[in-house]
A and B are shown apart, each in its own frame.
Chain A
Amino acid sequence: MDELTIAGESFSSRLIMGTGGAPSLDVLDQALEASGTELTTVAMRRLDPAARGSVLDVLRKRDIKVLPNTAGCFTAGEALLTARLAREALGTNWVKLEVISDERTLLPDPIETFDAAERLVAEGFVVLPYIGDDPALARRLEQAGCAAVMPLGAPIGSGLGIRNPHNIELIVEAASVPVILDAGIGTASDAALAMELGCDAVLLATAVTRAQRPDTMAAAMRAAVEAGRLARLAGRIPRRRYAEASSPMTP
């Protein structure tokens, strides 16, 4: 597999995993191993003295780079504080910027996201913003200095796949930074489609962690991302309205 490069850092896996939704750290560990991921998100929350084990230990053992997110933030101000705390706690200036508009849809708020992105870039963060499938916003965030853009396929945890493949293609066509399809993946064919559309990577969590067999689905996602990437690089045949014989028509 050709390498994915984000902000000058290279990854041989194009599957970025989330850690939310796994029933236990053991199940998560097995799924992460099967996925082959090298970059995985975590959330920042109040320390619980009763918590046993840490997701950080799992990632460290597997030598997976940690990507803190700002999940749960509704304003640019909240996202800024969360990113600064993550940098302090985890020693990374990378952040998946996620500012949501409401709890029912969990859709990203474009205004707050853009505001936070500008301020985080100015503070030296490597910013990967989660956004709607909006080509104009993706372009503006790239111009603002974001290291990648992360358009959704469908709402978080919905498993609805890629609802607007055309917009994802438009984002890919215009982008000079990596495009990472984030949210909405339900099964392997969704991940393959994202890569066929030209996305540079896929980020998913729920589709694996809440599958009946997470490690098996993780292996499926890994294969799907690789297959989709290869198909993209191979260049697919054009779609035709009618048949085109692949065997000679003359006797």
Chain B
Amino acid sequence: MLGCFYFLLSEAAEWWDRGILHNVTSVITIFSAEERKVQRRLSVLASLILAGAIFGCNQSPSPEAKKGDATTSPTPKAEVKQKGVIGVSLLTMANPFFKVMGDAMQAAGGKIDFTVNISAGEMDAARQKDQVNDFIAKKVTAIVLSPVDSRSIGTSILEANKAGIPVFTADIGCLDPVAKVVSHIATDNYGGGRLAGEALVKAIGGKGTVAIITHPEVESVILRAKGFKEVIAKYPDIKIVAELPGGGQRDASFKTAQDILEKHPDLNGIFAINDPSALGAVAAIEKAGKIGTIKVVGFDGMPEAKQAIKAGKIYADIVQYPEKIGEMTIQAVGRFMAGETVPAKTLIPAGTYLKSDADKDASLK
């Protein structure tokens, strides 16, 4: 899209150069005016856009500009109200999960007098590296990351370590053994997997056949599947007849679920490792006319999945609490800066969301 935009822009410039626009005087009288006047106006306009754009973004003055006294002589600083800036770089702001997490971070920061600056790597590991570098240049008090790539983030965290800026990770951890992270705050995926197992056992009445639609490339999913399987293993009457990949995507999971239903027409339940997979499975079950006969348990707590629970298409969802992750991460930063020791790892328990919850949920119509 961006490319089209540039292309159009340069096309327009090209046309203008050829003087074609000058012929359209009846439409745009400005171009029939004297050449120089047009140019001057145009450069004024361009400067205005430039200035307006930049000024527009400077609405919230940085806290540093306010605090401290103006004298260069060594005088004691007055009571510092603001305790510092926390630089945050999340995985992507296009996913509502991280948007909710970021908003919670900002709210939590406000409560303990920290300014929280949110940015996002947008799936670009190099861009996230740039953002961390900018935080270091700015000398932020602490850095919070949801790494785009758990390995590539290592060098950036090392730079922050060298500059003496503490680093925290939220939701996604760092896998580089050398880089030092003060604390990692995330959902307890293993525990969530166990909850999913318990929910599905209850849904199918303690016996029957179940399938897992998985996505083993992601570590959190591996943990979810592990927890799920451990619970099922305790019930000898329940058999896992299939564990197949759905790519964590709706369309791929739809096809996978169709294949599973083809081979196991008497299936009783499906555990889908995230909501897109669960919704894909529901589509396949709907097509086979088996809604209600085959119970589905999803993971995440997306609004669309909650809607499906309300409609009785999904039995239960294991929900994560991004707002809790965000809040607890910022609180950990606050405690650390006040000199308290914080645990190296905090896992936030997931919850089970059933039809009874959906019926009470005000966010669903």
Chain B associates with chain A: no
